[in-house]
Chain A
Amino acid sequence: MFPPIMLAHGALGPYDEVIFLGVIALFITFMALSWILSRNTKPKFDREPVVDSPSSHQDDSPERFKLD
């Protein structure tokens, strides 16, 4: 017995629900993981050179600018 039709568009086969719910589960997992990682790790700002004045940059365009 297949689960009740919730999202199936039709013509996609009897596994519509499994695939749709699988994709939802995958993204919710990514969401939860990204929340946990962002919550528990500090951003790696120090790796890249920071400019905060015209005299401090060497490149065409800086990758970072620390906003006041």
Chain B
Amino acid sequence: MTRQSASSWISRLFLLSVLFGLISGVRAHGYIVRALPPDGAVLERPPARVQYWFSESLEPEFSAVNVRGPDGTIIASGGVSPDNDSLMSARLPSGLPQGTYIVELRLAFASDGHVLTESQVFSVGAAADGIAGIRANSAALPLEVLWRTLLLSSLLLLFGVYTLYALVLLPAWGSPDHPAGLLPPRVMRRLNTVVLWAFVLAFAGSLLALLQQTMVFYGVDAAQAIASGFINTVRTSTRFGDVWNMRMLFLTLAAALHAASLYGRHSQPESVRAFWVANAWLFALILGTLSVASHAAGSPLWPWLAMTNDWLHLLAVGFWVGGLAAFVLVLPPALQPYTGETRRLALLAALRRLSRIATLCVAVVITTGIYASLNWLYSPADVTSTTYGTALLLKVLLVGLLVALGAAHHLALRPRRYQRFGALIARIGDFGLTLRLETASAALVLGAVGLLSATPIPKPAFLNTQVAAPAATVSAADFSVTQTLLPGGPGINTYETLLQRGGQPVESPSVRVQMVRPEADWRGTWHLAESAGDGLYVTTGDEIDAQGLWWTLVDVTQADGSVTRAAFAWSITQDAAVQQTRAPQLQHLLALAAVLAVLLWALYPALMRFLRWLDLRPELVLIAVLATGAVIFFAVIGYNAIRDNQLAAAARLNPPPSIVNTVLPDAQSLARGAALYQQACLGWPQNDDLRFLRRDLPAMRDQAVFAAVRDGWRALPACAAPLSAQQRWDIVNYLRTFERER
């Protein structure tokens, strides 16, 4: 290769990289779906901790939260919760003075490795003027744009080259006269050159990606990242590194296969085609690694489906854009010996096949693109009122232009069939201009895609509604017990209990917490809360699984061994839940149906070939239909039987109670119950069966204990009448305290 041709090649590949690279731009990142306290909140008293739930998982090693006090010093630090990698929290010291506090968040999103900084503000007492949180900066990092450009463009080009070879060039131009690859040597040389440069770009992009990720994770420059060994840490201990390792493994395997095809092209020419076809499958897999690390995997609706949809989108773009680019690059040497009508015929033979597959790919790109966009749009107004929606509209318009050009090519490829469009077909001529125009249009579409990718995902409006976490304070003995449920909706919650006496924190040997759902006569296990200092006791649980009335029972053990009960009643609503998922709506189902219809269209020839291959004699078809029907019938029967059994088992384990405990088991109820037990349940303390009742209490539901009080239990007599239902519940609540002694 001469210096001039090498330079020409580099400039072409650079141009392609820039055009393809526009597709990546800067990926829009995750966002806060719930903040406690909310940004800008003015609180009456200082919170015990700050908590932030995100739409996507975070890298624990590289994410942090710092809270600065009114004087600017850092008063607390925290990180990603060990139980939930989309939650960041920091414990605050007690006795914080009034003033405004700034929460600095350093966020490293696990999916794409983006590192952002963002700040939130809350005030205790009164808000300070002029202090506000700073939103995450979504500006592009030049090195990131560079590696994304290199990586995505090269991978799309490689997938495009291999699939173009297998699906277009080989069937259109292939000949056994050329044993190595079945295409003329000049064509194979050009394809090999494209592949070689694309591999170089892919490896360079991958290495740059790891370097840039290390730099942003550790906040160091390139030299430090390389010299310190941080690169290996990122490679082996982050999700970004895991996907990077997998991609490099496949990329190396693909390079080895291609090298094998070059090495054996003289000794085993028949293997060349085999290696090229195999690499088409391998690059389909490599493109899949991009989807694994995309925002589709963090989709609020059916993440697996969104990820598969994203993969399909990439594959279609890979053939459409990568294949078109490879085709444009291979045309000059392929058609070099021909002129005039012969040249046109040679071009048409390949273009007809390319056009057919590209049409399918465009349909797949459009439908999968629509489905992907709907994952992030919550209402039609989002299309016109958000930047994301505007960018989406621009992209749709440009795709429309591209489809129009494709349609014009379709007509020009069949001039006899579409004679009425003769004038248009004549203007298209030898396709030279329109092919270049189509490539330019594709670049514009990719630019719109880049803009779309760089545009932050619109946050659903309901996230702007600030829902306070449920909190209440009760007095028990000489304590003041404050409990907070965070976030306070169905799902995993943190139960915070703050003990104070005369405004001062109190330390206790143990604080235990139990969740109760009285309407279902259901009690959770007792949690031993962990002391976080300054009188704060924290534990976590997933007991709250439905809206409605819930109780929290708190048993505080004092230094002398006595136990004090505090009880709280909560009305749990869905509003307080952290919503990281969304329910499918009609438009999602329609978009999904469109994707499936296009896939069916694309696979129709293969399906028909498969049908032709089948032995469709009537008796065999009848047997197959009957067998399939029987399988479906028994599968449905089996599914229903299993579901009914599960429901029956659940109902047997926890049937709706015939009588519901209506008395909150607080300290007053326990005191009343103790007194009534002494007065009315005569003979119980001396009865041997009380020992068995104590043993069975944890497994007994409240209605069973109520029945024991009302009717007696084994040799225990009924507690003497007359007792009101409330009084019996007081006794039940008191009897429950026997569980403490176990």
Contacts and interface: CB of A to CB of B under 8 A. Distances in A.
Interface in B241-272: 242-243, 246, 270-271
Contact of A32 (B110, B243, B278): B278
B281 A27 contact: yes
Contacts of A62: 345, 348-349, 352
A66 B284 contact: no
A23 interface: yes
| Majority SS at the chain B contact face | helix
- Main DSSP-derived SS at the A contact region: loop
Given A11-B303, A45-B174, A6 B242 contact: yes
B393 interface: no
A10 B414 contact: no
Interface in A3-51: 5-12, 19-20, 23-24, 27-28, 30-32, 34-36, 38-39, 42-43, 45, 48, 51
A49 to B, nearest CB: 11
Given A9-B297, A9-B303, A45 B176 contact: yes
B288 interface: yes
B599 interface: no
Interface in B148-179: 170-177
Given A9-B303, A65-B349, A60 B288 contact: no
Nearest to A46: B176
A45 B348 contact: no
Contact of B187 (A34, A48, A67): A67
**Most central of A31, A43, A57 by chain B CB within 10 Å:** A31
Contacts of B170: 43
Contacts of A38: 273-274, 277-278
Contacts of A24: 285
Contact of A65 (B277, B284, B346): B346
A19 to B, nearest CB: 8
Contacts, number: 133
B416 interface: yes
A53 B184 contact: no
Nearest to B254: A31
Contact of B111 (A9, A23, A48, A54): A9
B304 interface: yes
B417 interface: yes
Contacts of A10: 56-57, 85-86, 110, 239, 298
A9 B294 CA distance: 9
B416 A60 contact: yes
A63 B352 contact: yes
B292 A31 contact: no
Contact of B243 (A7, A31, A39, A45): A7
Interface in B397-416: 413-416
B471 to A, nearest CB: 28
A68 B277 contact: no
Given A57-B345, A60-B413, A68-B184, A9 B281 contact: no
Given A39-B270, A57-B345, A62-B345, A12 B414 contact: no
B493 to A, nearest CB: 18
Nearest to A24: B285
Contacts of B352: 61-63
Contacts of A27: 281-282, 284-285, 288
B281 A30 contact: yes
A7 B174 CA distance: 40
A31 B155 CA distance: 17
B345 A65 contact: yes
A12 B274 CA distance: 36
Contact of A9 (B172, B184, B292, B340): B292
A63 B175 contact: no
A19 B288 CA distance: 13
Given A7-B243, A67-B187, A51 B349 contact: yes
B417 to A, nearest CB: 6
Contacts of B284: 27
B183 interface: yes
B537 interface: no
| Interface-centre pick from A30, A35, A45 (highest chain B CB count, 10 A) | A35
B312 interface: no
Contacts of B414: 60-61
Nearest to B245: A6
Among B278, B334, B413, find the residue whose CB has the most chain A CB atoms closer than 10 A. Answer: B278
Given A11-B298, A60-B414, A61-B413, A35 B278 contact: yes
Given A7-B243, A23-B288, A43-B170, 15 more contacts: A6-B242, A7-B292, A11-B57, A35-B275, A35-B278, A36-B274, A42-B176, A43-B171, A43-B174, A54-B341, A60-B414, A61-B351, A66-B177, A67-B175, A67-B346
6 contacts: A10-B57, A27-B284, A27-B285, A54-B342, A61-B348, A65-B350
